[in-house]
Structure 1
Protein backbone atom coordinates (compact mmCIF):
# COMPACT_ATOMS: atom_id res chain seq x y z
CA UNK A 1 0.00 0.00 0.00
CA UNK A 2 2.86 2.37 0.80
CA UNK A 3 4.40 1.78 -2.64
CA UNK A 4 1.04 2.30 -4.35
CA UNK A 5 0.40 5.50 -2.38
CA UNK A 6 3.90 6.78 -3.11
CA UNK A 7 3.54 5.98 -6.81
CA UNK A 8 0.14 7.64 -6.95
CA UNK A 9 1.44 10.81 -5.31
CA UNK A 10 4.42 10.87 -7.67
CA UNK A 11 2.12 10.49 -10.69
CA UNK A 12 -0.18 13.24 -9.36
CA UNK A 13 2.82 15.52 -8.88
CA UNK A 14 3.91 15.01 -12.49
CA UNK A 15 0.37 15.65 -13.75
CA UNK A 16 0.12 18.91 -11.78
CA UNK A 17 3.58 19.99 -12.98
CA UNK A 18 2.62 19.31 -16.61
CA UNK A 19 -0.64 21.26 -16.22
CA UNK A 20 1.22 24.27 -14.85
CA UNK A 21 3.98 24.10 -17.46
CA UNK A 22 1.73 23.40 -20.46
CA UNK A 23 0.77 27.08 -21.15
CA UNK A 24 4.46 27.99 -21.29
CA UNK A 25 5.16 25.06 -23.60
CA UNK A 26 2.24 26.04 -25.84
CA UNK A 27 3.49 29.63 -26.11
CA UNK A 28 6.94 28.33 -27.08
CA UNK A 29 5.47 25.99 -29.72
CA UNK A 30 3.24 28.74 -31.15
CA UNK A 31 6.31 30.91 -31.72
CA UNK A 32 7.45 28.43 -34.39
CA UNK A 33 4.13 28.52 -36.29
CA UNK A 34 2.91 30.86 -38.99
CA UNK A 35 0.18 33.35 -38.10
CA UNK A 36 -2.47 31.26 -39.88
CA UNK A 37 -1.37 28.08 -38.06
CA UNK A 38 -1.34 29.91 -34.72
CA UNK A 39 -5.06 30.74 -34.93
CA UNK A 40 -6.28 27.46 -36.35
CA UNK A 41 -9.20 25.82 -34.52
CA UNK A 42 -8.68 23.04 -33.67
CA UNK A 43 -4.99 23.86 -33.03
CA UNK A 44 -2.36 22.58 -35.43
CA UNK A 45 -0.42 19.85 -33.67
CA UNK A 46 1.67 18.92 -36.71
CA UNK A 47 3.38 21.72 -38.61
CA UNK A 48 6.71 22.70 -40.10
CA UNK A 49 8.63 24.70 -37.47
CA UNK A 50 10.10 28.01 -38.58
CA UNK A 51 12.37 30.59 -36.95
CA UNK A 52 10.80 33.39 -38.99
CA UNK A 53 8.87 34.89 -36.06
CA UNK A 54 11.96 34.98 -33.84
CA UNK A 55 13.92 36.63 -36.65
CA UNK A 56 11.17 39.22 -37.17
CA UNK A 57 10.91 40.19 -33.50
CA UNK A 58 14.70 40.36 -33.20
CA UNK A 59 15.02 42.60 -36.26
CA UNK A 60 12.16 44.72 -34.89
CA UNK A 61 14.41 45.69 -31.97
CA UNK A 62 13.47 43.38 -29.12
CA UNK A 63 17.11 43.42 -28.02
CA UNK A 64 16.82 47.01 -26.79
CA UNK A 65 13.68 46.25 -24.80
CA UNK A 66 15.36 43.16 -23.39
CA UNK A 67 18.35 45.23 -22.25
CA UNK A 68 16.02 47.76 -20.59
CA UNK A 69 14.23 44.98 -18.72
CA UNK A 70 17.50 43.43 -17.54
CA UNK A 71 18.93 46.75 -16.34
CA UNK A 72 15.73 47.91 -14.60
CA UNK A 73 15.18 44.52 -12.95
CA UNK A 74 18.72 44.16 -11.63
CA UNK A 75 19.08 47.77 -10.49
CA UNK A 76 15.70 47.92 -8.75
CA UNK A 77 16.28 44.56 -7.02
CA UNK A 78 19.70 45.64 -5.72
CA UNK A 79 18.29 48.92 -4.36
CA UNK A 80 15.30 47.13 -2.78
CA UNK A 81 17.60 44.58 -1.12
CA UNK A 82 19.97 47.26 0.18
CA UNK A 83 17.05 49.07 1.84
CA UNK A 84 14.76 46.16 2.70
CA UNK A 85 17.17 43.61 4.20
CA UNK A 86 18.59 45.89 6.94
CA UNK A 87 15.05 47.06 7.75
CA UNK A 88 13.87 43.46 8.05
CA UNK A 89 16.83 42.63 10.29
CA UNK A 90 16.06 45.54 12.59
CA UNK A 91 12.36 44.68 12.77
CA UNK A 92 13.10 41.03 13.48
CA UNK A 93 16.01 41.01 15.91
CA UNK A 94 16.41 44.51 17.34
CA UNK A 95 14.28 46.34 19.85
CA UNK A 96 12.18 48.75 17.81
CA UNK A 97 9.28 50.73 19.24
CA UNK A 98 5.86 50.19 17.65
CA UNK A 99 7.25 47.34 15.56
CA UNK A 100 3.84 45.90 14.70
CA UNK A 101 2.51 49.28 13.60
CA UNK A 102 5.53 49.80 11.37
CA UNK A 103 5.11 46.38 9.78
CA UNK A 104 1.42 46.99 9.13
CA UNK A 105 2.16 50.38 7.56
CA UNK A 106 4.79 48.80 5.31
CA UNK A 107 2.48 46.08 4.03
CA UNK A 108 -0.44 48.52 3.74
CA UNK A 109 1.41 50.29 0.92
CA UNK A 110 0.70 47.19 -1.17
CA UNK A 111 -3.04 47.63 -0.60
CA UNK A 112 -3.18 50.65 -2.88
CA UNK A 113 -4.63 49.96 -6.34
CA UNK A 114 -2.07 50.81 -8.99
CA UNK A 115 -4.68 52.51 -11.17
CA UNK A 116 -5.45 54.87 -8.29
CA UNK A 117 -1.91 56.21 -7.96
CA UNK A 118 -0.77 56.27 -11.58
CA UNK A 119 -1.96 59.86 -12.24
CA UNK A 120 -0.09 61.40 -9.25
CA UNK A 121 2.99 59.37 -10.20
CA UNK A 122 2.73 60.49 -13.82
CA UNK A 123 2.50 64.16 -12.81
CA UNK A 124 5.35 63.76 -10.31
CA UNK A 125 7.74 62.21 -12.82
CA UNK A 126 6.69 64.73 -15.45
CA UNK A 127 7.56 67.63 -13.14
CA UNK A 128 11.02 66.21 -12.41
CA UNK A 129 11.65 65.26 -16.07
CA UNK A 130 11.80 61.52 -15.42
CA UNK A 131 9.05 60.40 -17.77
CA UNK A 132 10.18 57.68 -20.18
CA UNK A 133 13.38 57.10 -18.21
CA UNK A 134 14.91 53.96 -16.76
CA UNK A 135 15.48 55.75 -13.45
CA UNK A 136 11.73 56.25 -12.97
CA UNK A 137 11.03 52.54 -13.43
CA UNK A 138 13.94 51.57 -11.18
CA UNK A 139 12.65 53.76 -8.35
CA UNK A 140 9.09 52.49 -8.77
CA UNK A 141 10.04 48.82 -8.91
CA UNK A 142 12.36 49.19 -5.92
CA UNK A 143 9.58 50.82 -3.91
CA UNK A 144 7.15 48.14 -5.08
CA UNK A 145 9.41 45.31 -3.87
CA UNK A 146 10.67 46.75 -0.57
CA UNK A 147 7.54 45.68 1.42
CA UNK A 148 7.82 42.17 -0.02
CA UNK A 149 11.51 41.97 0.91
CA UNK A 150 10.96 43.28 4.43
CA UNK A 151 8.17 40.82 5.22
CA UNK A 152 9.92 37.82 3.68
CA UNK A 153 13.35 38.53 5.14
CA UNK A 154 11.84 39.29 8.53
CA UNK A 155 10.46 35.76 8.70
CA UNK A 156 13.90 34.39 7.84
CA UNK A 157 15.63 36.55 10.44
CA UNK A 158 13.09 35.42 13.04
CA UNK A 159 14.47 31.89 12.65
CA UNK A 160 17.95 33.09 13.68
CA UNK A 161 18.66 32.71 17.38
CA UNK A 162 19.58 36.00 19.03
CA UNK A 163 22.09 34.06 21.16
CA UNK A 164 24.21 33.60 18.04
CA UNK A 165 24.46 37.36 17.62
CA UNK A 166 25.29 37.82 21.30
CA UNK A 167 28.02 35.17 21.01
CA UNK A 168 29.65 37.01 18.10
CA UNK A 169 29.55 40.25 20.09
CA UNK A 170 31.19 38.51 23.06
CA UNK A 171 33.95 37.43 20.68
CA UNK A 172 34.51 41.10 19.82
CA UNK A 173 32.49 41.45 16.61
CA UNK A 174 30.60 44.66 16.01
CA UNK A 175 26.92 44.75 15.08
CA UNK A 176 27.74 45.22 11.39
CA UNK A 177 30.26 42.38 11.44
CA UNK A 178 27.71 40.06 13.04
CA UNK A 179 25.16 41.06 10.42
CA UNK A 180 27.37 40.61 7.36
CA UNK A 181 29.61 37.75 8.47
CA UNK A 182 27.18 35.59 10.44
CA UNK A 183 23.48 36.42 10.08
CA UNK A 184 23.42 36.92 6.30
CA UNK A 185 25.23 33.60 5.82
CA UNK A 186 22.61 31.83 7.92
CA UNK A 187 19.72 33.26 5.89
CA UNK A 188 21.43 33.04 2.49
CA UNK A 189 18.84 30.64 0.99
CA UNK A 190 16.07 33.00 2.09
CA UNK A 191 17.95 35.95 0.63
CA UNK A 192 18.28 34.16 -2.72
CA UNK A 193 14.59 33.24 -2.86
CA UNK A 194 13.56 36.77 -1.89
CA UNK A 195 15.82 38.32 -4.51
CA UNK A 196 14.50 35.93 -7.16
CA UNK A 197 10.86 36.73 -6.40
CA UNK A 198 11.64 40.46 -6.47
CA UNK A 199 13.31 40.08 -9.85
CA UNK A 200 10.33 38.16 -11.23
CA UNK A 201 7.89 40.86 -10.07
CA UNK A 202 10.03 43.60 -11.62
CA UNK A 203 10.60 41.61 -14.84
CA UNK A 204 6.88 40.98 -15.37
CA UNK A 205 5.54 44.43 -14.37
CA UNK A 206 3.49 46.00 -17.16
CA UNK A 207 1.19 48.75 -15.89
CA UNK A 208 3.88 51.21 -14.70
CA UNK A 209 6.03 50.46 -17.74
CA UNK A 210 3.29 51.07 -20.30
CA UNK A 211 2.01 54.18 -18.47
CA UNK A 212 5.34 55.92 -17.83
CA UNK A 213 7.51 54.80 -20.75
CA UNK A 214 6.90 54.67 -24.46
CA UNK A 215 10.19 54.80 -26.40
CA UNK A 216 13.48 55.13 -24.50
CA UNK A 217 12.63 53.12 -21.37
CA UNK A 218 10.04 50.65 -22.66
CA UNK A 219 10.52 47.10 -21.38
CA UNK A 220 9.70 43.66 -22.77
CA UNK A 221 6.05 43.58 -21.57
CA UNK A 222 5.45 46.88 -23.39
CA UNK A 223 7.07 45.50 -26.53
CA UNK A 224 4.89 42.38 -26.47
CA UNK A 225 1.77 44.55 -26.19
CA UNK A 226 2.71 46.18 -29.50
CA UNK A 227 1.49 43.05 -31.29
CA UNK A 228 -2.05 43.82 -30.12
CA UNK A 229 -3.11 46.05 -33.01
CA UNK A 230 -6.34 47.27 -34.58
CA UNK A 231 -5.87 44.63 -37.26
CA UNK A 232 -5.92 41.93 -34.60
CA UNK A 233 -3.53 39.90 -32.48
CA UNK A 234 -0.36 38.56 -34.05
CA UNK A 235 -0.28 35.42 -31.94
CA UNK A 236 2.77 33.79 -33.49
CA UNK A 237 5.00 36.85 -33.23
CA UNK A 238 3.69 37.64 -29.74
CA UNK A 239 4.45 34.07 -28.69
CA UNK A 240 7.98 34.34 -30.07
CA UNK A 241 8.52 37.55 -28.09
CA UNK A 242 6.98 35.96 -24.99
CA UNK A 243 9.30 32.96 -25.32
CA UNK A 244 12.33 35.26 -25.36
CA UNK A 245 10.92 37.05 -22.31
CA UNK A 246 10.17 33.88 -20.35
CA UNK A 247 13.44 32.07 -21.06
CA UNK A 248 15.72 34.09 -18.71
CA UNK A 249 13.33 33.59 -15.78
CA UNK A 250 13.12 29.84 -16.41
CA UNK A 251 16.91 29.54 -16.65
CA UNK A 252 17.42 31.60 -13.49
CA UNK A 253 14.83 29.58 -11.60
CA UNK A 254 16.39 26.31 -12.78
CA UNK A 255 19.87 27.20 -11.53
CA UNK A 256 18.59 28.57 -8.21
CA UNK A 257 15.89 25.98 -7.55
CA UNK A 258 17.72 24.39 -4.61
CA UNK A 259 18.24 27.72 -2.89
CA UNK A 260 14.69 28.77 -3.74
CA UNK A 261 13.06 25.64 -2.28
CA UNK A 262 15.33 25.68 0.74
CA UNK A 263 14.64 29.36 1.32
CA UNK A 264 10.87 28.99 1.07
CA UNK A 265 10.93 26.14 3.59
CA UNK A 266 12.95 28.23 6.06
CA UNK A 267 9.98 30.35 6.97
CA UNK A 268 9.12 32.69 4.11
CA UNK A 269 5.55 31.47 4.12
CA UNK A 270 5.08 32.07 7.83
CA UNK A 271 3.07 35.00 9.11
Structure 2
Protein backbone atom coordinates (compact mmCIF):
# COMPACT_ATOMS: atom_id res chain seq x y z
CA UNK A 1 0.00 0.00 0.00
CA UNK A 2 2.78 2.39 0.88
CA UNK A 3 4.54 1.81 -2.46
CA UNK A 4 1.44 2.13 -4.64
CA UNK A 5 0.25 5.41 -3.12
CA UNK A 6 3.16 7.53 -4.47
CA UNK A 7 2.72 5.95 -7.91
CA UNK A 8 -0.99 6.76 -7.86
CA UNK A 9 -0.29 10.36 -6.83
CA UNK A 10 2.29 10.73 -9.60
CA UNK A 11 -0.13 9.25 -12.13
CA UNK A 12 -2.88 11.67 -11.03
CA UNK A 13 -0.43 14.57 -11.16
CA UNK A 14 0.72 13.56 -14.65
CA UNK A 15 -2.88 13.22 -15.81
CA UNK A 16 -3.76 16.65 -14.41
CA UNK A 17 -0.71 18.18 -16.11
CA UNK A 18 -1.61 16.63 -19.46
CA UNK A 19 -5.20 17.78 -19.05
CA UNK A 20 -4.09 21.33 -18.34
CA UNK A 21 -1.77 21.25 -21.36
CA UNK A 22 -4.62 20.02 -23.56
CA UNK A 23 -6.85 22.86 -22.34
CA UNK A 24 -4.13 25.44 -23.01
CA UNK A 25 -3.56 24.10 -26.53
CA UNK A 26 -7.30 24.08 -27.19
CA UNK A 27 -7.63 27.68 -26.06
CA UNK A 28 -4.61 28.68 -28.17
CA UNK A 29 -6.19 27.14 -31.28
CA UNK A 30 -9.60 28.67 -30.50
CA UNK A 31 -8.38 32.22 -29.81
CA UNK A 32 -7.86 33.22 -33.49
CA UNK A 33 -11.38 32.04 -34.36
CA UNK A 34 -12.85 33.90 -31.37
CA UNK A 35 -10.87 37.02 -32.33
CA UNK A 36 -12.14 36.80 -35.92
CA UNK A 37 -15.73 36.32 -34.74
CA UNK A 38 -15.52 39.30 -32.37
CA UNK A 39 -13.93 41.53 -35.03
CA UNK A 40 -16.66 40.64 -37.51
CA UNK A 41 -19.23 42.30 -35.21
CA UNK A 42 -17.26 45.57 -34.99
CA UNK A 43 -17.43 48.56 -37.28
CA UNK A 44 -14.53 49.14 -39.65
CA UNK A 45 -13.30 52.02 -37.49
CA UNK A 46 -13.26 49.96 -34.31
CA UNK A 47 -11.76 46.94 -36.11
CA UNK A 48 -8.85 49.03 -37.38
CA UNK A 49 -7.83 50.36 -33.96
CA UNK A 50 -4.49 49.24 -32.56
CA UNK A 51 -4.64 47.83 -29.95
CA UNK A 52 -8.16 46.54 -30.62
CA UNK A 53 -10.98 47.65 -28.36
CA UNK A 54 -12.87 44.78 -26.76
CA UNK A 55 -15.52 47.13 -25.39
CA UNK A 56 -16.42 48.57 -28.81
CA UNK A 57 -20.06 48.54 -29.83
CA UNK A 58 -21.27 45.55 -31.83
CA UNK A 59 -22.89 45.80 -35.24
CA UNK A 60 -23.97 43.55 -38.11
CA UNK A 61 -22.75 45.93 -40.82
CA UNK A 62 -19.97 43.55 -41.87
CA UNK A 63 -22.43 40.72 -42.49
CA UNK A 64 -24.88 43.01 -44.28
CA UNK A 65 -22.15 44.19 -46.65
CA UNK A 66 -20.97 40.63 -47.19
CA UNK A 67 -24.44 39.55 -48.27
CA UNK A 68 -24.70 42.50 -50.67
CA UNK A 69 -26.87 44.87 -48.62
CA UNK A 70 -24.59 47.79 -49.51
CA UNK A 71 -24.90 47.23 -53.24
CA UNK A 72 -21.97 44.83 -53.53
CA UNK A 73 -21.85 41.45 -55.24
CA UNK A 74 -23.92 38.63 -53.77
CA UNK A 75 -21.91 35.75 -52.25
CA UNK A 76 -24.55 33.10 -52.99
CA UNK A 77 -23.28 32.10 -56.47
CA UNK A 78 -19.76 31.62 -55.07
CA UNK A 79 -21.05 29.63 -52.09
CA UNK A 80 -23.15 27.44 -54.39
CA UNK A 81 -20.16 26.86 -56.68
CA UNK A 82 -18.00 25.82 -53.72
CA UNK A 83 -20.70 23.48 -52.50
CA UNK A 84 -21.14 21.85 -55.91
CA UNK A 85 -17.39 21.47 -56.48
CA UNK A 86 -16.68 20.13 -52.98
CA UNK A 87 -19.62 17.73 -52.69
CA UNK A 88 -19.42 16.40 -56.27
CA UNK A 89 -15.65 15.86 -56.14
CA UNK A 90 -15.88 14.18 -52.72
CA UNK A 91 -18.54 11.75 -53.98
CA UNK A 92 -16.44 10.95 -57.06
CA UNK A 93 -13.36 10.42 -54.89
CA UNK A 94 -15.23 7.97 -52.65
CA UNK A 95 -16.63 6.05 -55.62
CA UNK A 96 -13.15 5.68 -57.12
CA UNK A 97 -11.09 5.28 -53.96
CA UNK A 98 -13.25 2.65 -52.26
CA UNK A 99 -12.77 -0.18 -54.79
CA UNK A 100 -9.14 0.85 -55.31
CA UNK A 101 -8.46 0.66 -51.58
CA UNK A 102 -10.22 -2.71 -51.45
CA UNK A 103 -7.92 -4.04 -54.18
CA UNK A 104 -4.87 -2.74 -52.33
CA UNK A 105 -5.81 -3.92 -48.84
CA UNK A 106 -8.24 -6.86 -48.78
CA UNK A 107 -7.95 -8.48 -52.20
CA UNK A 108 -4.43 -7.30 -52.87
CA UNK A 109 -3.14 -7.02 -56.40
CA UNK A 110 0.44 -7.72 -57.42
CA UNK A 111 3.01 -5.10 -56.36
CA UNK A 112 0.39 -3.24 -54.34
CA UNK A 113 3.11 -1.41 -52.38
CA UNK A 114 4.44 0.05 -55.63
CA UNK A 115 0.95 1.25 -56.48
CA UNK A 116 0.64 2.98 -53.12
CA UNK A 117 4.03 4.61 -53.58
CA UNK A 118 2.93 5.87 -57.00
CA UNK A 119 -0.17 7.43 -55.44
CA UNK A 120 2.00 9.08 -52.80
CA UNK A 121 4.50 10.34 -55.40
CA UNK A 122 1.75 12.25 -57.19
CA UNK A 123 1.40 14.48 -54.11
CA UNK A 124 5.10 15.41 -54.24
CA UNK A 125 4.66 17.56 -57.36
CA UNK A 126 4.20 21.25 -56.44
CA UNK A 127 0.72 22.36 -57.42
CA UNK A 128 2.02 25.49 -59.10
CA UNK A 129 4.20 23.35 -61.41
CA UNK A 130 1.10 21.90 -63.05
CA UNK A 131 -0.82 25.16 -63.20
CA UNK A 132 0.30 26.29 -66.66
CA UNK A 133 -0.33 22.95 -68.46
CA UNK A 134 -3.74 22.65 -66.85
CA UNK A 135 -4.58 26.24 -67.78
CA UNK A 136 -3.58 25.65 -71.42
CA UNK A 137 -5.58 22.42 -71.53
CA UNK A 138 -8.64 24.13 -70.06
CA UNK A 139 -8.30 27.02 -72.50
CA UNK A 140 -8.02 24.78 -75.57
CA UNK A 141 -10.89 22.61 -74.35
CA UNK A 142 -13.11 25.64 -73.71
CA UNK A 143 -13.50 24.77 -70.02
CA UNK A 144 -12.21 27.96 -68.41
CA UNK A 145 -14.62 29.40 -65.85
CA UNK A 146 -16.40 26.03 -65.68
CA UNK A 147 -17.32 24.53 -62.32
CA UNK A 148 -17.04 20.97 -63.66
CA UNK A 149 -13.38 21.56 -64.46
CA UNK A 150 -12.83 22.22 -60.75
CA UNK A 151 -14.76 19.04 -59.92
CA UNK A 152 -12.39 17.02 -62.12
CA UNK A 153 -9.31 18.73 -60.68
CA UNK A 154 -10.39 18.35 -57.07
CA UNK A 155 -11.20 14.69 -57.68
CA UNK A 156 -7.75 14.01 -59.14
CA UNK A 157 -6.04 16.00 -56.38
CA UNK A 158 -7.80 14.25 -53.50
CA UNK A 159 -7.88 10.73 -54.94
CA UNK A 160 -4.32 9.71 -53.90
CA UNK A 161 -4.74 10.74 -50.26
CA UNK A 162 -8.19 9.12 -50.19
CA UNK A 163 -6.80 5.80 -51.45
CA UNK A 164 -4.04 5.92 -48.86
CA UNK A 165 -6.46 6.65 -46.02
CA UNK A 166 -9.08 4.10 -47.02
CA UNK A 167 -6.46 1.43 -47.68
CA UNK A 168 -5.33 1.67 -44.06
CA UNK A 169 -8.94 1.56 -42.86
CA UNK A 170 -9.95 -1.42 -45.00
CA UNK A 171 -6.82 -3.33 -43.98
CA UNK A 172 -8.29 -3.55 -40.45
CA UNK A 173 -11.38 -5.47 -41.63
CA UNK A 174 -11.27 -9.16 -40.63
CA UNK A 175 -10.77 -11.26 -43.75
CA UNK A 176 -12.96 -13.99 -42.22
CA UNK A 177 -16.02 -11.75 -42.52
CA UNK A 178 -15.44 -11.23 -46.24
CA UNK A 179 -14.73 -14.91 -46.80
CA UNK A 180 -17.96 -15.83 -45.02
CA UNK A 181 -19.91 -13.54 -47.33
CA UNK A 182 -18.25 -15.13 -50.35
CA UNK A 183 -19.10 -18.61 -49.08
CA UNK A 184 -22.74 -17.51 -48.83
CA UNK A 185 -22.64 -16.63 -52.53
CA UNK A 186 -22.21 -12.85 -52.31
CA UNK A 187 -20.53 -11.31 -55.33
CA UNK A 188 -18.00 -8.51 -55.21
CA UNK A 189 -20.51 -5.60 -55.50
CA UNK A 190 -22.58 -7.13 -52.70
CA UNK A 191 -19.51 -7.67 -50.55
CA UNK A 192 -18.44 -4.06 -51.03
CA UNK A 193 -21.88 -2.56 -50.42
CA UNK A 194 -23.22 -4.75 -47.63
CA UNK A 195 -20.15 -6.04 -45.81
CA UNK A 196 -17.11 -3.83 -46.32
CA UNK A 197 -18.83 -0.43 -46.48
CA UNK A 198 -20.81 -0.71 -43.19
CA UNK A 199 -17.75 -1.94 -41.29
CA UNK A 200 -15.50 0.80 -42.69
CA UNK A 201 -18.08 3.60 -42.38
CA UNK A 202 -15.99 5.62 -39.86
CA UNK A 203 -13.01 5.51 -42.22
CA UNK A 204 -15.18 6.51 -45.17
CA UNK A 205 -16.61 9.43 -43.20
CA UNK A 206 -13.14 10.59 -42.16
CA UNK A 207 -11.90 10.38 -45.75
CA UNK A 208 -14.95 12.24 -47.05
CA UNK A 209 -14.51 15.03 -44.52
CA UNK A 210 -10.81 15.47 -45.35
CA UNK A 211 -11.55 15.60 -49.09
CA UNK A 212 -14.42 18.05 -48.55
CA UNK A 213 -12.21 20.38 -46.51
CA UNK A 214 -9.39 20.26 -49.07
CA UNK A 215 -11.81 21.02 -51.92
CA UNK A 216 -13.62 23.79 -50.07
CA UNK A 217 -10.39 25.57 -49.09
CA UNK A 218 -8.60 25.26 -52.45
CA UNK A 219 -7.72 28.68 -53.87
CA UNK A 220 -4.93 28.54 -56.46
CA UNK A 221 -6.70 26.62 -59.24
CA UNK A 222 -10.01 28.33 -58.52
CA UNK A 223 -8.35 31.73 -58.70
CA UNK A 224 -6.61 31.07 -62.03
CA UNK A 225 -9.16 28.90 -63.84
CA UNK A 226 -12.40 30.66 -62.89
CA UNK A 227 -13.78 34.12 -63.53
CA UNK A 228 -17.36 35.08 -62.80
CA UNK A 229 -19.51 32.04 -63.55
CA UNK A 230 -17.51 29.42 -61.60
CA UNK A 231 -16.08 31.67 -58.88
CA UNK A 232 -15.78 29.85 -55.56
CA UNK A 233 -16.10 31.17 -52.02
CA UNK A 234 -12.32 31.53 -51.33
CA UNK A 235 -11.93 33.49 -54.58
CA UNK A 236 -14.89 35.66 -53.63
CA UNK A 237 -13.24 36.30 -50.26
CA UNK A 238 -10.08 37.66 -51.88
CA UNK A 239 -12.20 40.34 -53.56
CA UNK A 240 -12.48 42.17 -50.22
CA UNK A 241 -8.76 42.98 -50.37
CA UNK A 242 -8.75 45.96 -52.73
CA UNK A 243 -6.44 48.83 -53.64
CA UNK A 244 -8.48 51.00 -51.27
CA UNK A 245 -7.29 48.99 -48.31
CA UNK A 246 -8.24 46.01 -46.16
CA UNK A 247 -11.76 46.15 -44.72
CA UNK A 248 -11.01 44.05 -41.67
CA UNK A 249 -14.52 43.72 -40.23
CA UNK A 250 -15.99 42.73 -43.58
CA UNK A 251 -13.19 40.23 -44.24
CA UNK A 252 -13.69 38.65 -40.81
CA UNK A 253 -17.44 38.40 -41.38
CA UNK A 254 -16.89 36.83 -44.79
CA UNK A 255 -14.24 34.44 -43.43
CA UNK A 256 -16.55 33.30 -40.63
CA UNK A 257 -19.47 32.67 -42.98
CA UNK A 258 -17.30 30.79 -45.48
CA UNK A 259 -15.78 28.70 -42.68
CA UNK A 260 -19.16 27.66 -41.28
CA UNK A 261 -19.82 24.76 -43.75
CA UNK A 262 -16.46 23.19 -42.90
CA UNK A 263 -16.97 23.70 -39.16
CA UNK A 264 -20.51 22.30 -39.37
CA UNK A 265 -19.34 19.25 -41.34
CA UNK A 266 -16.54 18.62 -38.88
CA UNK A 267 -18.86 18.95 -35.89
CA UNK A 268 -21.49 16.67 -37.43
CA UNK A 269 -18.95 13.96 -38.30
CA UNK A 270 -16.64 14.36 -35.32
CA UNK A 271 -17.44 10.95 -33.84
CA UNK A 272 -16.89 9.21 -37.18
CA UNK A 273 -13.76 11.27 -37.75
CA UNK A 274 -12.24 10.23 -34.41
CA UNK A 275 -13.14 6.58 -35.01
CA UNK A 276 -11.79 6.65 -38.55
CA UNK A 277 -8.51 8.35 -37.76
CA UNK A 278 -7.94 6.02 -34.80
CA UNK A 279 -8.46 2.79 -36.75
CA UNK A 280 -5.39 0.67 -36.43
CA UNK A 281 -3.90 2.82 -33.70
CA UNK A 282 -4.61 0.23 -31.01
CA UNK A 283 -3.99 -3.39 -31.78
- 1:47 is matched with 56
SS at match of 2:280: helix
Alpha-carbon deviations, 1:143-188, whole Å to 9, x = none?
Answer: 1110011000000011112222111111121122111101111111
Q: 2:214 aligns with which of 167, 185, 201?
A: 201
CA distance in 1, matches of 2:89, 2:185: 35
Displacement, 1:4?
3.4
SS at match of 1:267: coil
Displacement, 1:268?
8.2
CA distance in 2, matches of 1:9, 1:107: 34
Q: 1:241 aligns with which of 254, 258, 267?
A: 254
Displacement, 1:8?
2.7
Is the CA contact (8 Å cut-off) linking 2:102 and 2:108 kept in structure 1?
no
- 1:37 is matched with 46
Q: 2:99 aligns with which of 86, 106, 116?
A: 86
TM-score when normalising by structure 2: 0.92
CA distance in 1, matches of 2:108, 2:256: 47
CA distance in 2, matches of 1:25, 1:209: 28
1:22 lines up with 2:35 in the alignment: no
Is the CA contact (8 Å cut-off) linking 2:67 and 2:75 kept in structure 1?
yes
TM-score when normalising by structure 1: 0.96
Q: 1:231 aligns with which of 244, 247, 255?
A: 244
CA distance in 2, matches of 1:4, 1:119: 57
- 2:4 is matched with none
Is the CA contact (8 Å cut-off) linking 2:39 and 2:252 kept in structure 1?
yes
CA gap 1:174/1:160 in 2 versus in 1, 3 angstroms: same
RMSD: 1.4
Displacement, 1:134?
0.4
Alpha-carbon deviations, 1:77-110, whole Å to 9, x = none?
Answer: 0011111111111111113122122111111111
Q: 2:108 aligns with which of 68, 73, 95?
A: 95
Is the CA contact (8 Å cut-off) linking 1:157 and 1:187 kept in structure 2?
yes
CA distance in 1, matches of 2:281, 2:77: 35
CA distance in 1, matches of 2:278, 2:51: 42
Q: Which ranges in structure 1 are unaligned for 5 or more consecutive residues?
A: none
CA distance in 1, matches of 2:188, 2:29: 44
Displacement, 1:22?
1.2
CA distance in 2, matches of 1:268, 1:253: 21
SS at match of 2:51: coil
Q: 2:182 aligns with which of 169, 175, 181?
A: 169
CA distance in 1, matches of 2:34, 2:218: 21
CA gap 1:11/1:95 in 2 versus in 1, 3 angstroms: closer
Q: Which ranges in structure 2 are unaligned for 5 or more consecutive residues?
A: 1-8
- 2:201 is matched with 188
CA distance in 2, matches of 1:17, 1:95: 41
CA distance in 2, matches of 1:214, 1:6: 53
Task: Give the structure with higher Rg (CA).
Answer: 2
Alpha-carbon deviations, 1:17-40, whole Å to 9, x = none?
Answer: 111111111111111111222221
Alpha-carbon deviations, 1:167-219, whole Å to 9, x = none?
Answer: 11111211221111011111110100110010000000000100100211011
CA distance in 2, matches of 1:28, 1:71: 26
Q: 1:219 aligns with which of 212, 227, 232?
A: 232
